[in-house]
Structure 1
Amino acid sequence: MNHTLRWQKSTFSDGGDGNTCVELAATLTPTPIPTTLHLRESDTPATVLTTTPTPLAHLLHAIRTGTLPERPPKA
């Protein structure tokens, strides 16, 4: 089953017509509840990150609360 994704720009994006936007699309089948989320940057639309709602919610929570672990230094 091939569904066309409907991309939406983030409300935090630049707002202009340039390529400075984060976009999100959701796969809603078979219910209206998102089962798969797709994220991309508008300047590289062919590169899509696919996840599910729970891991994305955990990432956003960690970003908002400042509890996102620091990246270890490269060896």
Structure 2
Amino acid sequence: MNWRKSTYSDGGEGDTCVEIAALTTRIAVRDSKAPARAMLSFPAPSFAAFVEAVKRHPRPRG
């Protein structure tokens, strides 16, 4: 699997973010601080809808 870090990494060492990997029909998500632990996977259309919703309603940082 080809994992990539979120572009919204939270500063510091870049280790406070999630990583995603595109599978055939699903998107896998894991914690970048513990990559050997469990991952979650979601149907690709559901994950895309989630990302779009987050973009429309971002959570304030701080």
Identity %: 39
User: More strand by proportion, 1 or 2?
Assistant: 2
TM-score (norm 1): 0.59
Aligned pairs, number:
56
Which one scores higher on RCO, CA 8 angstroms, separation ≥ 6?
A: 2
Structure 2 residue runs of 5 or longer lacking an equivalent are: 58-62
Residue pair 2:9, 2:15 contacting (<8 A) in 1 also: no
Larger radius of gyration: 1
- The root-mean-square deviation of aligned C-alpha atoms, in Å, is 2.0
**5+ residue gaps, structure 1:** 29-34, 67-75
Tell me, yes or no, if structure 1 residue 61 matches structure 2 residue 57: no
